Amino acid sequence: MRWVDEDEDTAPTSPKKDGSGQKGQRIAKLLARAGVASRREVERMITAGRIAIDGKVLDTPATILESLHGVTVDGKTVGTPLPTKLFGFHKPPGMLTTEHDPKGRKTIYDHLEAHTKEPLPRLMPVGRLDYNTEGLLLMTNDGEFKRQLELPSTGVERSYRARAFGEVSQQQLEDLFDGIEIEGIRYGPIQANLERRTGHNQWIEMTLTEGKNREIRRVLEHLGLKVNRLIRTRYGPFKLDELPKGDIVEIRAYDVVQFRKTLGKKK
């Protein structure tokens, strides 16, 4: 597999006004939209001196621009933003949701590089799945879309199936709908149902909207369970279904457009 670079020609971005009446947008937002990285990562790149305008290294993420003309990242010209694309990847367990790992562990990009024949755009994961967590991982070339999907305020549901060792009652699971506080961290409402029992293991279906770090594992461990398998089955309207493990598929543009319309209506 190879990553497809954007065109080297740049085109003006539609100017907007911020609260001060100034035209343009912050450079981090423009670069995120162009698929360079998320806003937060772009800010880190600016701090590291990796971004320049007309050859001058940028030193503040507060820069307002009307286009990406003259902007370079690591000395390379930033191309015109491509149309938003969304992919569903069936992440296997035993790999990190990151581009590089200092310890040399396998990442999702290592897997895609080795197993994908067709060219892909530069993709960013929507949220993360832990090293041993498997299932549906959405990936997009649009940093702003990624951010919108991840924000708790948009209320995008994520569904999981967890296999956990130990005993738990349906009532304990239903009580999670009221939210729970664990070691000073407040977790929002979780819909949880006991699917079936296999020996001392329980299969539990869980749906949430926040997706805090290791949320499912921490909540179930708080109930006295030990999670030994965790699968994400859905993110918003997009489902894992029968997508083979390790495969990646592009979601239809029509479905992405319709989904984005519903995001605009969320409060």
pLDDT at residue 6, rounded to an integer? 31
pLDDT at residue 132, rounded to an integer? 95
Catalytic residues: 130
pLDDT at residue 46, rounded to an integer? 94
The residue-averaged pLDDT of 91-111 equals 94
- Fold agreement between 86-151+250-263 and 157-235: yes
Please state the domain extents for the chain: 3-77, 86-151+250-263, 157-235
Ramachandran area for residue 255 (φ above 0: left; ψ -120 to 50: alpha; else beta): alpha
Pick one of 3.30.70.920, 3.30.420.40, 3.40.50.880, 3.30.70.580 as the CATH number of 86-151+250-263: 3.30.70.580
pLDDT at residue 157, rounded to an integer? 95
The residue-averaged pLDDT of 132-140 equals 97
Q: Using one digit for the tens of pLDDT, what is the confidence trace for 22-34?
A: 578 889 888 887 8
pLDDT at residue 265, rounded to an integer? 62
pLDDT band at residue 218 under the 50/70/90 scheme: very high
For domain 3-77, the question of CATH label 3.10.290.10 is answered with yes
pTM, whole model, 2 decimals?
A: 0.77
Show contacts of 216-222: CB within 8 Å, 24+ apart: 216/160, 216/162, 217/130, 218/182, 218/185, 218/187, 219/176, 219/180, 219/182, 219/187, 219/190, 220/162, 220/164, 220/168, 222/180, 222/182
14 pLDDT higher than 80: no
Q: Using one digit for the tens of pLDDT, what is the confidence trace for 167-208?
A: 999 999 999 999 999 999 999 999 999 998 888 899 999 999
Which overall architecture, per CATH, does domain 157-235 show? 2-Layer Sandwich (3.30)
Q: Using one digit for the tens of pLDDT, what is the confidence trace for 232-266?
A: 999 999 999 999 999 999 999 999 999 998 886 65
Low-confidence winner among 28-37, 44-53, 60-69, 152-161 (lowest mean pLDDT): 28-37
State percent of the chain over pLDDT 90: 61
pLDDT at residue 95, rounded to an integer? 96
pLDDT at residue 15, rounded to an integer? 35
Q: What is the mean pLDDT of the chain?
A: 87
